[in-house]
Chains A and B, each alone.
Chain A
Amino acid sequence: MSEKSYFDGATRRRTLQAMGAASVVSVTGLAGCSDDDSGNGNGNGNGNGNGNGEPEEVSFPLEVQLETNADNSDRVEMVELVAASLEDTGYFETNVETFEFNDFVARILNPEYGDRGHIGCVGLSGTFNPESFCNALHHSGNIGQCCNMSGVSDPELDDMMDSARFGIEVSQDPDLRRERYDEIWHYLAEESYSSIANFSVEDAIMNNSVHGFNGWPFNEGLLSFALYSPTENQVTWMDDDADPRETDLSDVQEGGTLRVGVVENPDSFDPPYSSDTTSTFVQSLIFEQLVTSDLEGNVYPWLAESYEIVDVQDVDRADYEEYMISVAADEEGAIDTTEQIIVVHPDDDPVGDDEVRVLTPEEAADAVADGVFGMRIQYELHEGVTFHNGEELTAENVVRSYEYYENSNVSAQTFDSVLHAEADDEYTVSVYAQVPDAEAERELPGVYILSTEQLDEIEADDDLDRGDIDPREDLTPIGTGPYTLEEFSDQQFAEYEKYDDYWVEEMGVDTIPWFDGPAEFPDGPVIDEIELEFIPDDATRSGALQNDEVDLTYGLATATLDDFDASDDFIVDIVEAGAYDYFQTPLNVEPWDDKRLRQAFNHLIPREVIVEEVFNGYRNPAWTDIPELARGLGTADYDALEAEIRPTNEYDPERAVELIEEVIADHGYESTV
């Protein structure tokens, strides 16, 4: 999800990071997508075989150009460190080239980029889905898309990645999925197509009144996770008198106000009509979903008391053909229908064809009625959950919420897996997936459950449109969540109060079947009031924290974090997150086609030095390809995995030189080293 943020560096990094579960990434909308080499690669004899038809003779020291986007100074510094490390071996003559962000994106998304012989460096952002740390970088479908820039096209690897997510077996067997990912990580370590250098962290900084706080790997969920999450026995409370370094769950105090400095103004409180992280941040106190997650991405039922995969069928998207209708598509690919398009026939191309076959909600319902679907997950709702307006949660709320997501700002990510939602009875609802999908457990229920009364009001009132669930449209958002929105002032603040009839409190957390926390864990969040102050400027936000105008903030510069960390008056909480920087060597260009050279390159990335020198310690070296958040689903045994793979990622110039010498000898390359 793209996010609008303040200054270029940050915005752009986040945008590039935004390819969450990257399957097929589209970039056709990016302007300036030029085919030329911007005059940097071709002319100056860097690299080999760069498009002029005459592959140059390979000789060592090898000339190579490293490239990245200029707006992210940390990344540029990192690339320069790696270049220096390559030079130090004596086997490389390097040149670092940086590009304006939009130009760089256009450059690396050019399918021919891999043939130019350059080493590109990009930052991306992954999710709980392990796929996000391999698929975008290596799947052949992502050549010319984000971000298989070197053009990895390995049918065996494609197959491994596909079968780790899709198919009847894997979609019902998480252990099988973990094993399959372990195979992928080993395969990637051997081939060294890419070198992930580091994983990002999410920071949160608070004063000594904030107790029990723990961070979340995605800042949009930071607050709602910290306030109350039985999955990790997480609860935050306010206490001015005790030292938060010495308190534990037995010291929980009720009441108080938590003031949070938030990095942006939210676009909207209407869940499907906003896509920026801050909107999710402010919505997540009000709205809830059918499921919740722990820090490793394991899914737990939430508004649903339980769920069950009741059916998995070997269906692919072409199997919906008989239900599809034909609609016109213009030359740009815009499809002429006001209905939500759930599936486009895989054989049709909206850009190339005048007409395409599509499945819309009505036909999807028909298909489901006929038993054509990939998966069915059935959710049993808690009885007695109330919305802030007193309305009781029923299956209708769930079905109506899915409908409300149609043609919204987030419909693309919702309906790339969801086929249909249907009430089975008052408290039972089935959500259908288009194909058998191991991610369905997380992807399908990724919808905030909305108040039917509120949705009815929007439909009935001529002045209200979808997207108007927002105080700026005089509509107070209504959800089942632990807090109600009391006041909101655009660009300034939002005030929440604890919802008195919050369902967990009413039922008791012990009634949640999977909960096994300590007895003193409270039945709901304990802080009475939450005040969010929207402060886009880092320095101002940091100042507000220092001046005791907020109790908690996040997203500060690393240098500032050190200062706060050194102070006894503040606590800095760091949790590993999903953003990562990676390099790709041009494997289709001699001599990089020899994996030993790629392995050598990998040994020449000083991961620890980079983290310390460039990121002041506020990143983690990537010893494997999966950060903590993806380990729940992405590996059977992380410690074993790290033990095996870490040696291939250690900085080891001696080993690198050995490998390079082998390459030179085996291929008979010229070398003056």
Chain B
Amino acid sequence: MSLHRFILKRLLSIIPILFGVSVITFGLVYLTPGDPVDQMVALNPHVSPSDEATLRAQYGLDRPAWEQYLLWMSNVLTGDFGQVYSSGRDVSSVVLQRLPETIVLGLFGWIFALVIAIPAGIYAAVNKDQLGDTVSRFLALSGISIPNFWLGLMLILIFSLILGLFPVLPPSREPLYHPRMLWYLLLPGVTIGTAAAASIMRVMRTSMAEELNKEYVTAARAKGLPERQIVLKHVLRNSLISVVTLAATLTASIVAGSVVVEVVFNWPGLGREFIMAINGREMNLIMAITLFTGFFVIIANLIADILYAVLDPRIRYE
């Protein structure tokens, strides 16, 4: 089947993309002043230049950049992502431990965004230029403009400190898959999903308003179908096509948003780990997190491409 071949092709194309991502990430980290040894011992009055050099040699940081990269790459190909310099722990175990936290948070934020944005977008498009539309457009603009961390802090202030509905700290003693976690996911999920919800809502509204003007809608009305059915069946599916594109792109921004949100909500995910990795110039950790993130973004886009074909029969991948 052509779709199968298309998916296969896209899966294969992940390899060169991730390769590119790894080269760029490596280059950027390499060019940033300071390396892990600096972060560990620089300005430590007891560490001599010779000690530093010895440490660098031990981590292979004294080698030329291309050699470090190749070494890293050949290890990765055997499934070894290296160690966290400061703690000596395996990068892959750190990433795998943090990953579910971020996936759950991101997924929640994403679902929240869709659940809010799609009905809101439909409502706004159907009631275009009426009060409800204006209000929802205002909210969408606010949602896009409000910085994540500020929103997070405000939510904590209002819902945790003033109303006392949520704890400030996530319940770290509960397993992540516990149903009660849904409740605790609300504030960080809302924070991470708000900007996405706002963008999706805007696109949903525009795209739906555009679709509503098309003749097939008049044709559907002429059939005597109820308006609800026309909007939810005929128009929605067509307008979802552009939303799918956006939602896939937003995966990247949700991942990026998780960095800040995880800090504010003390969520033990990859984003928080990433900040620490950057501060510590933890090359191996930075590389692994970037690769994982890149992989997920690519997969999200692949899913979007598959969804196109599902939503729009005219699209065929050959």
A and B touch in the complex (CB under 8 A): yes
- Using an 8 Å CB-CB cutoff, how does the interface string of B172-198 with A read, 1 for contact, 0 for none? 110000000000000000000000000
Bound form: Cα–Cα A550–B164 in Å:
15
Partner of A533, one of B38, B98, B172, B275: B172
Bound form: Cα–Cα A11–B160 in Å:
29
- Using an 8 Å CB-CB cutoff, how does the interface string of A306-342 with B read, 1 for contact, 0 for none? 0000000000000000000000011011110000010
Smallest CB separation, A262 vs chain B (Å): 11
Partner of B48, one of A20, A344, A468: A344
Contact assessment for B48 and A412 in the assembled complex, using a CB-CB cutoff below 8 Å:
yes
Interface residues on A, range: 35 or more
Smallest CB separation, B144 vs chain A (Å): 23
Bound form: Cα–Cα A450–B194 in Å:
50
Which of B262-270, B288-296, B307-315 lies at the binding interface? B262-270
Report if B161 contacts A (CB, 8 A): yes
Partner of B45, one of A24, A333, A533: A24
Q: Contacts A1-B44, A2-B42, A4-B279 given: A335-B35 contact, CB under 8 Å? A: no
Report if B2 contacts A (CB, 8 A): no
Partner of A351, one of B50, B89, B263, B268: B50
- Using an 8 Å CB-CB cutoff, how does the interface string of B27-54 with A read, 1 for contact, 0 for none? 0000001110111111111111111111
Bound form: Cα–Cα A102–B279 in Å:
13
Q: Which of B43-100 contact A (CB under 8 A)?
A: 43-54, 56-57, 62, 86-89, 97-98
Bound form: Cα–Cα A512–B239 in Å:
79
Smallest CB separation, A354 vs chain B (Å): 13
Q: Contacts A26-B49, A412-B47 given: A332-B62 contact, CB under 8 Å? A: yes
Report if B156 contacts A (CB, 8 A): yes
Contact assessment for A413 and B168 in the assembled complex, using a CB-CB cutoff below 8 Å:
no
Which residues of chain B come closer than 8 Å to A51, judged between CB atoms?
none
Which residues of chain A come closer than 8 Å to B276, judged between CB atoms?
4, 6, 265
Which of A391-399, A541-549, A575-583 lies at the binding interface? A541-549
Bound form: Cα–Cα A466–B56 in Å:
19
- Using an 8 Å CB-CB cutoff, how does the interface string of B95-114 with A read, 1 for contact, 0 for none? 00110000000000000000
Q: Which of B35, B41, B161 has the most CB of A within 10 A?
A: B41
Report if B157 contacts A (CB, 8 A): yes
Contact assessment for A543 and B157 in the assembled complex, using a CB-CB cutoff below 8 Å:
yes
Smallest CB separation, A353 vs chain B (Å): 10
Q: Contacts A332-B62, A412-B47, A535-B266 given: A492-B172 contact, CB under 8 Å? A: yes
Contact assessment for A2 and B43 in the assembled complex, using a CB-CB cutoff below 8 Å:
yes
Q: Which of B33, B48, B164, B168 has the most CB of A within 10 A?
A: B168
Contact assessment for B46 and A416 in the assembled complex, using a CB-CB cutoff below 8 Å:
yes
Contact assessment for A490 and B43 in the assembled complex, using a CB-CB cutoff below 8 Å:
no
Interface SS of chain A: helix, strand, loop or mixed? loop
Bound form: Cα–Cα A24–B47 in Å:
9
Bound form: Cα–Cα A344–B53 in Å:
14
Which residues of chain A come closer than 8 Å to B56, judged between CB atoms?
29, 332, 334
Bound form: Cα–Cα A334–B264 in Å:
42
Report if A428 contacts B (CB, 8 A): no
Which residues of chain A come closer than 8 Å to B54, judged between CB atoms?
333-335
Closest residue to A542 on the B side, CB-wise?
B168
Bound form: Cα–Cα A185–B50 in Å:
33
Contact assessment for B42 and A491 in the assembled complex, using a CB-CB cutoff below 8 Å:
no
Contact assessment for B49 and A28 in the assembled complex, using a CB-CB cutoff below 8 Å:
yes
Report if A431 contacts B (CB, 8 A): no
Q: Which of B133-171 contact A (CB under 8 A)?
A: 153, 156-157, 160-161, 164, 167-169
Contact assessment for B172 and A146 in the assembled complex, using a CB-CB cutoff below 8 Å:
no
Bound form: Cα–Cα A534–B266 in Å:
8
Q: Contacts A29-B38, A265-B276, A546-B161 given: A351-B264 contact, CB under 8 Å? A: no
Q: Contacts A265-B276, A351-B49, A492-B268 given: A535-B169 contact, CB under 8 Å? A: yes
Which residues of chain A come closer than 8 Å to B97, judged between CB atoms?
490
Which residues of chain A come closer than 8 Å to B52, judged between CB atoms?
26, 28-29, 333
Bound form: Cα–Cα A406–B45 in Å:
18
Smallest CB separation, A36 vs chain B (Å): 15
Which residues of chain B come closer than 8 Å to A274, judged between CB atoms?
86-87
Q: How many A-B residue pairs have CB under 8 A?
A: 193
Bound form: Cα–Cα A18–B87 in Å:
19
Q: Which of A271-305 contact B (CB under 8 A)?
A: 273-276
Closest residue to B263 on the A side, CB-wise?
A537
Report if A89 contacts B (CB, 8 A): no
Contact assessment for A465 and B33 in the assembled complex, using a CB-CB cutoff below 8 Å:
no
Which residues of chain B come closer than 8 Å to A351, judged between CB atoms?
49-50, 53
Which residues of chain A come closer than 8 Å to B167, judged between CB atoms?
547, 549
Report if A22 contacts B (CB, 8 A): yes
Contact assessment for A6 and B275 in the assembled complex, using a CB-CB cutoff below 8 Å:
yes
Q: Which of A494-550 contact B (CB under 8 A)?
A: 533-537, 539-540, 543-544, 546-547, 549-550
Bound form: Cα–Cα A32–B161 in Å:
45
Smallest CB separation, A129 vs chain B (Å): 11
Partner of A540, one of B44, B51, B266: B266
Smallest CB separation, A532 vs chain B (Å): 11
Smallest CB separation, A69 vs chain B (Å): 13
Contact assessment for B50 and A335 in the assembled complex, using a CB-CB cutoff below 8 Å:
yes
Contact assessment for B160 and A547 in the assembled complex, using a CB-CB cutoff below 8 Å:
yes
Contact assessment for B47 and A544 in the assembled complex, using a CB-CB cutoff below 8 Å:
no
Smallest CB separation, A432 vs chain B (Å): 18
Bound form: Cα–Cα A492–B169 in Å:
9
Report if A5 contacts B (CB, 8 A): yes
Report if B272 contacts A (CB, 8 A): yes
Which residues of chain A come closer than 8 Å to B88, judged between CB atoms?
268, 273, 465, 467-468
Known: A492-B268, A540-B264. 14 other contacts (CB 8 A): A20-B45, A26-B49, A29-B49, A31-B38, A102-B33, A267-B87, A351-B50, A409-B40, A412-B47, A489-B173, A489-B268, A491-B98, A547-B164, A549-B168
Using a CB–CB cutoff of 8 Å, the interface residues on chain B facing chain A are 33-35, 37-54, 56-57, 62, 86-89, 97-98, 153, 156-157, 160-161, 164, 167-169, 172-173, 263-266, 268, 272-273, 275-276, 279-280
Supply 10 A–B pairs (Cβ within 8 Å), ascending by A: A5-B279, A23-B46, A26-B51, A29-B41, A31-B34, A334-B53, A335-B50, A350-B50, A470-B87, A533-B266
Q: Which 3 A-B pairs have the closest CB atoms?
A: A491-B268, A350-B50, A492-B172
